[in-house]
């Protein structure tokens, strides 16, 4: 890879993971489509960490996600399984064949009107049948569209979003999509509901070999593979797929980082007891087995709890979202993910996945929590010290790991990223001789301000912090979630609304090894202990033994004990 990038291979396992992944890749794509002035210095984030270069059969240079995704039959809607970058191989074979030809065509899903407009605007399919996709001039810099002008992105109507492929703007490589044909995405029958079903999928030679072939394809072209990031549904049978996938990665690619993001949509209804019990069991089995084979595991959810009792979803002062819509929830989680993963995607002085995990997971603490302030509240006339002082002594971010109220918890280690603030506001702008409102106002760099603030908040905590100028892009198809009190750059207006759509935002994100996991994991184990499994024999029938459940309960309790309150590690 150009510039010696430390490559990461992304795995997306499950349908909600597909929603989060679609927003994630759309945000990466929006960041790539910025100005391409040759005099500009390279961006702070290195896209080659996540993307790979290639060529179509017609010699067109491409830039596509280094991605393997698995989902169920019926989940792609009108998206082709080969991603659409290459001409249809069967069509090429038919052209070469000179004899009589009979074509049998399966009825296609209607293409989402948003994607029809998107493809038409980008002109990706020419009359000669060649896909016109993004190319990289001289193999350097961000990719450009081959059309003369970049079309204004369109926002899909929310009622039109049924599956993640309905709003994915990014072209995928033919080796990216792996469909599990034995289970259905829609309908009541043939669903991938239980952890054991998911585990059994990657015990079948057909699916195991397909995954291994794709892994080898992507890994062998990497110069320096730092590891794997896995977006995995925790609430359904994909938790079992993720467990087997991480086991495979640990066995075959020892020494590489494996960071797993366990994704949970919300909220849920008490009126669906079997679905809720399965969600609880899948989450427990997933967290235990994924943490055994990953460098780090982080549950991500807008829900208030992992347990059976529903709690209100989290709220953000400047966001208006519908917690019942995966399209909304996944956008927020993708924004948090785009921020907390910054350390191992930096162009200059990156922190490797392995080092990030080592900093957070000492003493068996393989599970971490996430939090984010979306957007970070800054008034245009304020400095960063002003904004941080205004936050007060409370936890500055909204919890995103369904671990309940963060007040009164002990943090053992944390990685914090603040992005999207203009350099002019990083330090205090007070005139000389003015009394300083706080120690933060005495700092001479933004990095020092952020580090000093974290030190004040948690004096004995091992902290790593990064401050970036690069904001998080939230252009369509990102949903309209922002209040009218925000500017186009996501700053809090101190005057009347301008009416301009928000296009980018500053975000504060954090990963924490937190004592809140003691309560959360312990409560999860207690709820499982109370279950009468004879009522849920179908979960055991799916390939999990009673002994497996007892083992998971013990490991869950042991994991919870790692997070008992006490002095954090500071040496």
Supply the mean pLDDT for the chain: 85
Q: How many whole angstroms separate alpha carbon 21 and alpha carbon 27?
A: 10
Contact assessment for residue 349 and residue 5, using Cβ atoms and an 8 Å cutoff: no
pLDDT at 98: 52
Tens digits of residue pLDDT in 37-82: 445 567 999 999 999 999 888 888 999 999 999 999 888 876 777 6
Mean pLDDT of 386-399: 90
- Retrieve residue 438's tokens: 């706080």
The pairs formed by 427-436 with CB atoms below 8 angstroms and a separation of 24 or more are 427/383, 427/384, 427/385, 428/383, 428/385, 428/386, 429/383
Write out the H or E segment, with its range, that includes residue 119.
helix 113-122
- Pick from 44, 29, 47: nearest CA to 169: 29
Least confident of 8-17, 29-38, 168-177: 29-38
What pLDDT band is residue 126 in, cutting at 50, 70 and 90?
A: very low
Peptide bond into 509 cis (omega under 30): no
270 pLDDT above the threshold of 90: no
pLDDT at 189: 62
Say what the pTM is. Answer: 0.89
109 pLDDT above the threshold of 70: no
Mean pLDDT of 417-440: 92
pLDDT at 335: 98
pLDDT at 103: 44
What pLDDT band is residue 35 in, cutting at 50, 70 and 90?
A: low
% of the chain residues with pLDDT over 70: 82
Tens digits of residue pLDDT in 190-201: 789 999 999 999
- Pick from 85, 7, 3, 11: nearest CA to 52: 7
Residue labelled with tokens 């059969």: 57
Mean pLDDT of 237-242: 96
> What are the residues facing 369 on neighbouring strands?
512
3-class SS at 70? strand
The pairs formed by 85-93 with CB atoms below 8 angstroms and a separation of 24 or more are 85/56, 85/131, 85/133, 85/171, 85/172, 85/173, 85/174, 86/56, 86/57, 86/131, 86/174, 87/57, 87/58, 87/129, 87/130, 87/131
pLDDT at 546: 81
Give the list of residues 6+ apart from residue 54 with CB closer than 8 angstroms, or none.
61, 62, 63, 64, 173
Q: How many whole angstroms separate alpha carbon 385 and alpha carbon 381?
A: 12
Helices (H), 411-492: 446-457
- Retrieve residue 324's tokens: 């019942």
Q: How many whole angstroms separate alpha carbon 473 and alpha carbon 482?
A: 13
Distances (CA, A) of 97 to 100, 163, 370: 8, 37, 56
% of the chain residues with pLDDT over 90: 62
């Amino acid at each position: 890879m150009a510039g010696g990038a430390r490559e990461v291979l992304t795995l997306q396992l499950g349908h909600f993971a597909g929603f989060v992944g679609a927003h994630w890749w759309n945000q990466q794509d929006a960041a790539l489509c910025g100005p391409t002035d040759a005099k500009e210095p390279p961006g702070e984030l290195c896209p080659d960490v996540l993307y790979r270069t290639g060529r179509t059969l017609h010699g067109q240079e491409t830039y596509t996600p280094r991605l393997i995704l698995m989902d169920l039959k019926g989940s792609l809607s009108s998206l082709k399984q080969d991603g659409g970058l290459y001409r249809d191989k069967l069509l090429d074979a038919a052209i070469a064949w000179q004899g009589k030809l009979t074509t049998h065509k399966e009825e296609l899903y209607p293409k989402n009107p948003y994607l029809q407009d998107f493809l038409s605007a980008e002109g990706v399919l020419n009359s000669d049948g060649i896909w016109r996709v993004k190319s990289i001039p001289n193999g350097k810099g961000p990719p450009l569209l081959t059309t003369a002008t970049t079309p204004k992105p369109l926002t899909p109507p929310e009622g039109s979003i049924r599956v993640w492929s309905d709003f994915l703007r990014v072209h995928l490589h033919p080796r990216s999509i792996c469909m599990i044909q034995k289970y259905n995405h829609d309908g009541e029958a043939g669903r991938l509901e239980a952890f054991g079903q998911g585990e059994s999928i990657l015990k079948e030679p057909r699916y195991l070999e397909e995954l291994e072939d794709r892994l080898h394809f992507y890994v062998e072209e990497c110069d320096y593979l730092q590891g794997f990031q896995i977006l995995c549904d925790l609430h359904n049978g994909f938790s079992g797929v993720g467990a087997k996938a991480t086991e495979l990665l640990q066995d075959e690619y020892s020494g590489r980082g494996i960071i797993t993001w366990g994704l949970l949509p919300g909220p849920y209804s008490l009126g669906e007891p079997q679905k809720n019990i399965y969600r609880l069991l899948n989450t427990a089995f997933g967290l235990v087995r994924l943490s055994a084979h990953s460098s780090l595991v982080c549950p991500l959810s807008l829900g208030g709890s992992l347990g059976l009792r529903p709690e209100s979803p989290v709220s953000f002062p400047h966001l208006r979202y519908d917690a019942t819509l995966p399209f909304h929830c996944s956008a927020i989680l993708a924004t948090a993910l785009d921020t907390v993963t910054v350390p191992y995607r930096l162009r200059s002085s990156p922190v490797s996945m392995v080092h990030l995990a080592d900093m957070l997971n000492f003493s068996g603490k393989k599970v971490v929590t996430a939090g984010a302030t979306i957007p970070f509240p800054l008034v245009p006339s304020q400095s960063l010290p002003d904004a941080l002082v205004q936050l007060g002594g409370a936890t500055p971010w909204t919890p995103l790991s369904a671990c309940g109220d963060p007040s009164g918890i002990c943090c053992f280690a944390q990685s914090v990223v603040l992005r999207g603030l203009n350099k002019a506001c990083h330090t205090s702008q007070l005139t000389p001789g003015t009394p300083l409102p706080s120690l933060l106002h005495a700092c001479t760099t933004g990095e020092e301000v952020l580090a000093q603030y974290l030190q004040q908040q948690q004096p004995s905590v091992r902290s790593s912090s990064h401050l970036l100028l690069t904001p998080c892009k939230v252009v369509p198809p990102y949903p309209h979630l922002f209040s009218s009190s925000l500017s186009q750059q996501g700053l809090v207006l101190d005057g009347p609304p301008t009416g301009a759509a928000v296009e980018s935002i500053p975000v504060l994100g954090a990963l924490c090894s937190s004592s809140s996991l003691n309560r959360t994991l312990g409560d999860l184990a207690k709820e499982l202990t109370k279950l009468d499994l004879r009522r849920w024999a179908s979960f055991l029938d799916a390939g999990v033994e009673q002994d497996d459940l007892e083992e998971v309960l013990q490991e869950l309790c042991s994991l919870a004990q790692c997070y008992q309150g006490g002095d954090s590690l500071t040496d």
